[in-house]
Structure 1
Amino acid sequence: MTETNVATIANIIQLAVAPVFLLAGIGGILNVVAHRLARVVDRVRSLESGVGTADAKARELRTLAILDRRMRLCHWAIGLCVVAALLISIVVIILFIADLAAINFAIPVSLLFIAAMASLTLGLLLFLSEVTIATRSVRVDEKFIARRKARP
């Protein structure tokens, strides 16, 4: 390889570093959402196997409906984050191809990156929705909460 080729490849790698860090971040997000989904699925399985009395059954059915909604949100969040990761991967590939083939792919790369960010944003919003539903559906009984005493 000539010195110019090495410098060109080094420049391409520098351009690709930021998207690769973004991929690592998306991987971390996917790990968190997948873990939450697994916990919801485990909870659904335990509730479905133990639906008992009529009173408990009504409460458990309400809980199952909430868990079903949370599963759907996690599923869509994972899907959108995976789409974002795939789009970022395509951006990195195009950056290499465009530079090696001396083709101007500025507009497609820009559009793919915008699409990736939109997909990631929607995935994060769905994740936030799932977390909000989870925290609103769980209430700690007052007898377990130590209240602070008012200061004189």
Structure 2
Amino acid sequence: MNLHLGNIGQIIQLAIAPVFLLTGVGTNLTVLTNRLARIIDRSRTLEDLVNTQGQEVLTPNMQLELDELYQRMHLINRAITLSSTCALLICLVIAALFMGDALDIHLDKLIASMFVLGVFALIGSFMFFLREIFVATKTLRRQREHGAKFLP
């Protein structure tokens, strides 16, 4: 294990791009978890309304909205899973950069593979996020077109 100051400087320079990506993924996770919290709050509000009114059966509008909320929740959960996978892979890239240099192991193909997998995971996360936005927009459009008012 022979570390030189010049090598560490180069490794830190190589690690800067993944660190910036990791910061963006963290922000993405914040947005996704906030959306998930709002979806959960809305579904709990609908379920509480049904329970307090003592209804055995949901109205068709309420059932439709709950179904859409559950669909959105699953999409956001998948996006969060893929964003978290991306973050984990990027952290492993950073660790592998330093460990490869410190132990003088050639991990270039492993590092490149993990980085590419992380980017693919992030792409998948954004695709699920975009799909969730489409479902949410469709729900709002449907409510507006039909003048449906679900809750105050």
TM-score band, normalised by the shorter chain?
A: 0.7 to 0.9
For 1:60, the equivalent position in structure 2 comes to 62
- The alpha-carbon deviation at position 121 of structure 1 amounts to 0.6
For 1:36, the equivalent position in structure 2 comes to 35
Aligned length, in residue pairs: 141
Query: What are the superposed Cα offsets for residues 81-137 of structure 1, whole Å, 9 maximum, x if unpaired?
Result: 000000000000000011111111111111111111111111110000001100111
For 1:110, the equivalent position in structure 2 comes to 112
Query: What are the superposed Cα offsets for residues 36-94 of structure 1, whole Å, 9 maximum, x if unpaired?
Result: 00000000000001125699721101100000000001111001000000000000000
Larger Rg over CA atoms: 1
For 2:93, the equivalent position in structure 1 comes to 91
Unaligned runs of 5+ in 2: 148-152
Unaligned runs of 5+ in 1: 145-152
Q: Distance in 2 between matches of 1:55 and 1:138?
A: 23
1:8 aligns with 2:7: yes
3-state SS, counterpart of residue 50 of structure 1: helix
Counterpart residue identity of residue 127, structure 2: L
1:48 aligns with 2:50: no
Calculate the TM-score normalised by the size of structure 1: 0.86
Counterpart residue identity of residue 10, structure 2: N
Calculate the TM-score normalised by the size of structure 2: 0.86
Runs of 4+, deviation exceeding 3 Å: 52-56
3-state SS, counterpart of residue 104 of structure 2: coil
Q: How many percent of aligned residue pairs carry the same amino acid?
A: 37
Counterpart residue identity of residue 104, structure 1: H
Counterpart residue identity of residue 7, structure 2: T
- Equivalences for residues 104-143 of structure 1 within 5 A: 104-139=106-141, 141=144
